Structure 1
């Protein structure tokens, strides 16, 4: 069984006040991109948000190592979030859990 990789991802929006940033919408946006680029992705997509900060517009995702390249490609090709032009940036990738400095960050676990 392969291990996991953690991705620290930042969302940059043209007009941040025009969208509702939630972990569910963010994960759905990435999953939609995966499906549109690679077709049906099935159960191999164990994409989990382990930490989320709406004020920093950042999330830490946990993905299986074997699926990492597809996720990075899908993230880099996203151009819209809730019909607002955007750009996703992968700030770092690690085999060890990542963290970002913010006391009000929300911990999310999707299992």
Structure 2
């Protein structure tokens, strides 16, 4: 059994040209959301960026299994990225490592049929 849970997330931005998309900013956004909704998490969890694509505005990251539910909730409730309106779409989540080299349409179709 895995000690981690993986997320494949796509960032949907109202104005993509006005932000700087980096792993550090993304990670900070997730951690800030966790703290905002669930209080001080003070080093209790880590968000590890596994794969990052600026072109697709997609990120695969992992969190400890204990934080799966809270992270999923906190991620889907994010409404701003660098003060630009947005939402984070969780395309897939899994206890095993994910990869977004497959076509985005395949992932969206798979999730809509679940």
> Normalization by structure 2: what TM-score?
0.85
Tell me the SS of whatever aligns to 1:98. Answer: coil
- Provide the aligned C-alpha RMSD in A: 1.5
1:10 and 1:59 in contact (8 A); partners too: yes
Match of 2:85 in 1: 85
Q: Deviations over 1:44-92 (max 9, x none)?
A: 2121111100100000011111100010111011000001000101100
- CA deviation vs aligned residue, 1:15-55 (integer Å, no higher than 9, x gap): 10010000000110111111111111022212111110010
Unaligned runs of 5+ in 2: 103-114
Q: 1:99 to 1:65 in 2, by over 3 A?
A: same
Residue in structure 1 matched with residue 5 of structure 2 by the alignment:
5
- Which residue does the alignment assign to 1:54? 54
**Equivalence for 2:44:** 44
Q: Which residue in the other structure is 1:69 paired with?
A: 69
Between Structure 1 and Structure 2, the one with more helix by share is 2
Structure 1: gaps (5+ residues)? 103-111
TM-score (norm: length of structure 1): 0.87
Structure 2 distance, partners of 1:7, 1:21, is: 17
Alignment partners' CA distance in 2, 1:98 and 1:73:
19
Give the secondary-structure state (helix, strand or coil) at the position aligned to 1:36: helix
